[in-house]
Structure 1
Amino acid sequence: MTEDEFGQLFADHYGAVLGYGLRRVDAATAHDVAAEVFVVAWRRLAAPPEHPRGWLLAVARRVLANELRRRQRLDRLHQRLADAQGDPPVVVGAPADDRLAEALARLSAPDREVLRLVGWEELDAGEAAEVLGCSRAAFRVRLHRARRRLEAQLRDPAPGAPGPGTGPPRALATPRHPVQQRSPR
Structure 2
Amino acid sequence: MDERGTRFTRLYDEYHRRVLAYALTHAEPHTAEDIAGETFLIAWRRLDEVNDPALPWLLAVARNLLHKQRDRGRRGRDLAARVRALASSGDLAAWDVAEHVVERETALAAVAALPERDLEVLALVNWHGLDTRQAARVMRCSGAAFAVRLHRARRRLARALEAAGDTPAAGDAADGSARASRPAAAPVAGKAAR
Q: Could you say which TM-score interval applies, normalised by the shorter chain?
A: 0.3 to 0.5
With normalisation by structure 1, the TM-score equals 0.41
Higher relative contact order (CA 8 A, sep 6+): 2
Name the larger-Rg structure: 1
